Amino acid sequence: MTRLARYFLARSAQSDGWRLILLLAMPVAAVAFFLGAVLDPLSGQANAFDRLAYPALTSGLLILELVLWRRPRLTDRVVTALVLLSCGFFLSKLIYLLYFLPPGPSIQVEMTESFFWIPAVYVLSLFIPSLKAARSFTFAFFAAMVLCSVGYAALNGWTAQSGGVLFALIEMLLANLTLLTLTQAFIGYKDRLSSVQARAQTLQRLVHTDLLTGLPSRLRLERELGEAVDRGEPFTLLFIDVDGFKMVNDTLGHSAGDEVLRDLAGRVQAVLKPRDLAARIGGDEFVVIVRDTPPAWAPALAQQLLAGLALPFLVCGQQIQLSASIGISVYPDDSQDAETLLRHADAAMYQIKKAGRNGIRRFDAALDAELERTILLTREFQFALSRDQLSLVYQPIYDLKTGEMSKIEALVRWSHPEFGAISPGVFIPIAETSGQIMAVGRWVLEQACFQARHWRENHGWAGKITVNVSPVQFAQPTFVDEVKQTLLLSGLPAHRLELELTEGAVIHSPTLVQTALRGLQRLGVEIAIDDFGTGYSSLAYLRDLPIGCIKIDRSFIEDLASPRRAPQYAVALITAIVGIARTLDLQVVAEGVETQEQVDAVRGLGCDFAQGYFFARPLDAARLEALLDSGQPDLNAGWHQRLN
């Protein structure tokens, strides 16, 4: 019977909920009939009781329904009980009318009273398609019953006996009006409640679905993970991060990026089985729950995903090549907690990013410790600038022909009171991912420019100060204005400032980079490409963009004197780089010079400048001032012994 009640409730809800009133009115009427039938032979007060009980019980049950509506299980039980009672009560009243009540006007009135026909009305109303039609049908039905009753009374004459008939008809009309009024009020309430419930369901869908891709959202993913863990069901987690996606937004716009994300979502889903689940948890990050697949097969599935994502994307008439980094964690091998599993897969993905991107890695315990440290450092770095834990050190760059300190590179350092000196290779990525790089970058630029002006005015140094710029900084539309403002505040001439960019920043955002570089060129600021030869070297950007200097990566310099590698290859590469630079009228800096042999080699190969431990390690401002006052170095012998 509970199922029957739920069926009636469901059918009523499909018809805007109003027919539930009739379902509830049916047992109400049956109760009144039954009590009236029992009391009639005892006291003769059946009609009086019916008149009082009918509207009272109807109103009471309506209130009960309003109270119970938000408690579905209790409502099911109540309705089930009422349906059972109504069947017995209705049958008892019918038997009473047919076998115990004498024929005549009274039985006709009983048969025409509205509550007797409520079950029939309810059954018929189930097939009425709309709320408006249902209301019209209800009014028409009851009006017809009233007219028939009045007509019957008129045909039988207005006798003393028919006076009771007329009184019963008036009572029936009032009862009908009571029922209809309460029904309409309840319909209004149910309509409002249905509207609220519909909005709640829509919001629930929005919360659990990513609007851009149509994939499940992070909230849905967390729920699925929790349920899978509760069931003890083994599964594999793939954490996917798209490499270089930010550059798509920066170069082609966010609408193009959205198109790529939708295409990505489709490619991911195409590889999965029906029970697998792919979710977008933010930006360019996706997570896949792989079910019914042995953990040993997960790398093969991840390789399929990489292959699918590596295919070119056609966006705005351009072909875009992307890759992805995928971290893997397995339940229950790596953890029995859903949140920890997700964090482990993220940690494995992060290691792929650090190792060069475009790969797959399974989580291991060492990653967990490293991730914990990264999380801790990320939290601590938020306060590094405000707590004066950041400082600048300076490394000189020498002219290989004159021996002059032509440039000084400013390098940021983080000294934590508990963890000590933190490597830039650790905290710079943290600054970029946490959003702190903008504030830190502005601070570094300001400090370096003010320091360079101080050396110029107080120590007679006429060189350039070199500052590294993060790709995140360079991608900001306001970056050129910030540089201009810093130069004005510090009083440093623009031609005394050199900004270093990585090759990746130039290659991935050519349009944005070109706009910014043109703006910096108009200011008079010089641009250098750092770590040249290790990224995405392109002769086109060297030709088309206003770049004044390239810095050969230290790995080429190390190979010049490495017995484990063929020095002739390093010589050939450096010679080629220098030749290109000469043709394009660019200066060349050799990074990582540590020995006299390397000094001689890079000078002989045509490099203009050199930088490295042979000359000096990064020094604080005071020690560098002492170096400025000491004069020019002897590049032919032992200069590094005077500095270290």
Summarised one tens digit per residue, pLDDT across range 294-307 is: 888 888 999 999 99
- Is residue 631 very low, low, confident or very high in pLDDT (cuts 50, 70, 90)? low
**33 or 227: which leads in pLDDT:** 227
| Residue located via tokens 């992307």 | 322
For β-strands 285-291 and 235-243, DSSP reports them as antiparallel
pLDDT band at 613 (very low <50, low <70, confident <90, very high): very high
Most confident segment among 65-74, 151-160, 253-262: 253-262
pLDDT tier at 119, thresholds 50, 70, 90 = very low
Rg (alpha carbons) of the chain, rounded to whole number: 42
What local confidence, expressed as pLDDT, does residue 152 receive? 55
Burial of residue 179, with CB atoms counted within 10 A of its CB: 0-12 exposed, 13-18 middle, 19 or more buried: buried
Q: At residue 607, does pLDDT exceed 80?
A: yes
Q: Which two tokens stand for residue 487?
A: 């130069």
**Out of 55-64, 441-450, 459-468, least confident range:** 55-64
Task: Please report the pLDDT score of residue 194 as a whole number.
Answer: 59
pLDDT reading at 135 higher than 90: no
CA distance 141 to 314: 65
The predicted model gives 448-455 an average pLDDT of 96
Question: In this model, does residue 215 exceed pLDDT 50?
Answer: yes
More confident residue, 485 or 134: 485
Q: Read off the pTM.
A: 0.55
Q: How confident is the model at residue 74 (pLDDT cuts 50, 70, 90)?
A: low
Region 556-582: mean pLDDT is: 81
What is the average pLDDT across 133-153? 60
* Least confident interval from 5-9, 329-333, 399-403: 5-9
Pick left, alpha or beta for residue 585 (phi over 0 → left; psi -120 to 50 → alpha; otherwise beta). Answer: left
CA distance 568 to 573: 9
Reported as a single tens digit per residue, the pLDDT across 21-72 is 444 554 555 455 444 444 444 444 444 444 444 445 444 544 554 454 455 4
Inter-CA distances, 583 with 221, 247, 352, 574, 623, Å? 55, 30, 38, 14, 38
Q: What's the CA gap between 616 and 421, in Å, rounded?
A: 19
pLDDT at 531: 79
Q: What is the pLDDT of residue 124?
A: 47
> Given this model, what pLDDT does residue 556 score?
87
What percentage of the chain reaches a pLDDT higher than 70?
Answer: 61
pLDDT band at 504 (very low <50, low <70, confident <90, very high): low
pLDDT at 163 over 90: no
Dihedral sign from CA coordinates of 78, 83, 89, 90: positive
Identify the pLDDT of residue 317: 76
Confidence of residue 634 (pLDDT cuts 50, 70, 90): low
Phi, psi of 528 (to 5 degrees): -125, 145
Tokens of 588: 């060349």
Domain with CATH 3.20.20.450 in the chain: 378-625
Strands 390-399 and 405-416: antiparallel
pLDDT at 335: 86
The highest-confidence range among 26-35, 58-67, 186-195, 437-446, by mean pLDDT, is: 437-446
Tokens read off for 43: 């006291």
**Confidence bin at 161 (pLDDT 50/70/90):** very low
Distance CA 503, CA 520 (A): 17
Compute the mean pLDDT over every residue in the chain, rounded to the nearest whole number: 75
Contact 424, 411 (CB under 8 A): yes
Residue 123 has pLDDT above 50, yes or no: no
CATH top-level class of 378-625: alpha beta
Residue 558 pLDDT: 85
Report the pLDDT averaged over residues 496-518.
77
For 441, other C-beta atoms within 10 Å of its C-beta total 23
Percentage with pLDDT > 90 across the chain: 30
Encode pLDDT of 83-101 as tens digits. 444 444 445 555 555 555 5
pLDDT for res 19: 45
Average pLDDT score over residue span 564-592: 86
Identify the CATH number of the domain defined by range 218-363: 3.30.70.270
Interval 585-602 mean pLDDT: 92
The whole-angstrom separation of Cα 557 and Cα 602 is 8
pLDDT of residue 138: 56
Write down the pLDDT at residue 45.
Answer: 44
d(CA 469, CA 530): 10
| Range from 91-95, 183-187, 562-566, 570-574 that averages highest in pLDDT | 570-574
Residue type, 488: L
Examine the pLDDT at 178 and tell me if it is beyond 60: no
Cβ atoms of 405 and 430 closer than 8 Å:
no
Strands 497-502 and 526-532: parallel
Of 313 and 238, the structure prediction assigns the larger pLDDT to: 238
**Position of tokens 């990074």?**
591
Per-residue confidence band for 400, with pLDDT thresholds at 50, 70 and 90: very high
CB neighbourhood size of 205 (10 A): 12
Tell me the CB-side half-sphere exposure of residue 66, using CA atoms within 13 A.
Answer: 16
Contacts 24+ apart (CB under 8 A), 174-181: 174/55, 175/51, 175/54, 175/55, 175/113, 175/114, 175/115, 176/114, 176/142, 176/145, 176/146, 178/54, 178/55, 178/58, 178/59, 179/25, 179/55, 179/58, 179/114, 180/138, 180/139, 180/142
- According to CATH, where is 3.30.70.270 located in the chain? 218-363
Is residue 606 within 8 A of residue 588, CB to CB? The reply is yes
Query: Is 240 a residue whose pLDDT tops 90?
Result: yes
The answer, yes or no, to whether the previous bond of 105 is cis (omega within 30 of 0) is no
pLDDT of residue 395: 96
Residue 566 has pLDDT above 80, yes or no: no
Instruction: Return phi, psi of residue 595, to 5°.
Output: -130, 160
Residue 17 falls in which region: left (phi positive, over 0), alpha (psi -120 to 50) or beta: left
| pLDDT reported for residue 91 | 52
